[in-house]
């Protein structure tokens, strides 16, 4: 049997989407992962939030995120048809609210930042916020709504991608890769999330996030994703049509530890109940922790590495689900044409190596 054109290491949503797109372009593809669809993809809440995830000093990442958000409707429709199942893609928008006056000042500062970038976000009083989500606590001070920040169910997304790659002829090998050099393929795509740094010389580290899954008897009585600052504690609540509400997420530098802690659960529940008191009546059905792949500048590594056979597609940190379609399209274009699209030029995996050399000189 001939070696595949592309070996994708990592069967999360990024790796699977790349494999699917490559197969659509006529490439022979294998995916290597001992448990595809697990890892960070199975823990993520699925917020597609280019606006409310925008941070000061991350403008290149924002441009990539906005491009990804524009592509999500078509990507969701195409993948759902290819897999024959829905993804839980919803376009209800995101509400960002403040619990204290200090929280409100921080959100107002964020809104001025969003305005300076031309991002669509509408400021709200506390009363206006409660008109959108009546379950909000009476003491909510105000906030803003980002109608273009949507959501998808990452677990459904993973299942759909696994079905789509199988139908496209991709071979999924449920095995762990110990050495990239052992892979017989024309090109290797490293999409192994926080584990990428253990397989190649890439500055990727694990950033732990604890997440809770709650359940209501029927569909939750709110449809917008609710993000909040509650006494400076960030929290989000993502409602699903099937009665699930995802609450998250902590940000912890704990190495590869994925234990769920009493403190982490307590802080998430306390913040969530401050914002939506009714959460106290929901069932707590799952606690879990995942590892985001972080980089020194919180932006992904996309493109050819120091090894010309190896292409990086990792380091997506907080926005892996959002950036899945745009990453898959860009990496596939690079593999097919040999040239990286301009959209990912700022995310060259070798950018930190160049900085180190310049500092050394």
Confidence (pLDDT) at 1 = 58
Distance CA 21, CA 71 (A): 14
Query: What φ, ψ does residue 219 adopt, rounded to 5°?
Result: -55, 140
Predicted local confidence at residue 217, as pLDDT: 85
Which tokens sit at 244?
């699930």
CA distance 328 to 146: 26
Q: What CA–CA distance (Å, rounded) separates 127 from 58?
A: 32
* Measured torsion, CA atoms of residues 176, 153, 157, 69, in degrees rounded to the nearest 10: -110
pLDDT score, position 355: 44
Q: Could you tell me the pLDDT band of residue 358, with boundaries at 50, 70 and 90? A: very low
Count other C-beta atoms under 10 Å from residue 334's C-beta.
Answer: 20
Alpha-carbon span 24 to 18, nearest angstrom: 10
Q: What gap in Å lies between CA 259 and CA 128, rounded to an integer?
A: 39
Query: In the block, which residue shows the tokens 């010309």?
Result: 308
What is d(CA 279, CA 269) in angstroms, rounded to the nearest whole number? 8
Q: Which residues pair with 96 in a beta bridge?
A: 144, 227
- Name the pLDDT band for 106 (thresholds 50, 70, 90): very high
pLDDT at 260 over 60: yes
């Amino acid at each position: 049997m001939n070696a595949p054109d592309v070996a994708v290491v990592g069967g999360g949503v990024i790796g699977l989407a790349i494999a699917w797109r490559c197969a659509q372009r006529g490439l022979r593809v294998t995916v290597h992962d001992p448990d595809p669809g697990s890892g960070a993809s199975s823990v993520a809440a699925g917020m597609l939030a280019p606006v409310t995830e925008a941070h000061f000093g991350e403008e290149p990442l924002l441009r990539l995120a906005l491009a990804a958000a524009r592509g999500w409707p078509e990507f969701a429709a195409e993948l759902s048809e290819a897999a024959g199942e829905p993804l839980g893609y919803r376009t209800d928008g995101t509400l960002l609210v403040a619990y204290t006056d200090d929280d409100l000042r921080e959100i107002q500062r964020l809104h001025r930042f969003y305005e300076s970038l031309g991002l669509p976000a509408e400021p709200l009083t506390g009363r206006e916020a409660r008109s959108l989500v009546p379950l909000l606590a009476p003491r909510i001070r105000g906030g803003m709504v980002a109608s273009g920040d949507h959501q998808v169910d990452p677990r459904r997304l993973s299942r759909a991608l696994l079905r789509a790659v199988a139908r496209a002829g991709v071979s999924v090998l449920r095995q762990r890769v110990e050495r990239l050099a052992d892979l017989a393929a024309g090109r290797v795509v490293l999409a192994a999330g926080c584990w990428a740094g253990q397989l190649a010389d890439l500055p990727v580290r694990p950033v732990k996030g604890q997440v809770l899954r709650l359940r209501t008897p029927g569909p939750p009585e709110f449809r917008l994703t609710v993000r909040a600052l509650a006494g400076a504690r960030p929290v989000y609540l993502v409602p699903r049509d099937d009665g699930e509400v995802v609450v998250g997420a902590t940000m912890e530098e704990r190495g590869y530890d994925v234990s769920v802690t009493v403190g982490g659960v307590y802080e998430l529940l306390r913040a969530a109940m401050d914002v939506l008191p009714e959460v106290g009546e929901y069932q707590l059905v799952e606690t879990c922790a995942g590892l985001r792949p972080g980089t020194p500048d919180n932006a992904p590594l996309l493109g050819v590495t120091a090894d010309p056979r190896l292409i990086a597609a990792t380091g997506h940190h907080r926005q892996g689900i959002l950036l899945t379609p745009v990453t898959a399209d860009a990496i596939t274009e690079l593999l097919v044409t040999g040239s990286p699209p301009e959209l990912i030029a700022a995310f060259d995996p070798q950018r930190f190596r160049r900085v180190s050399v310049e500092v050394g000189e």
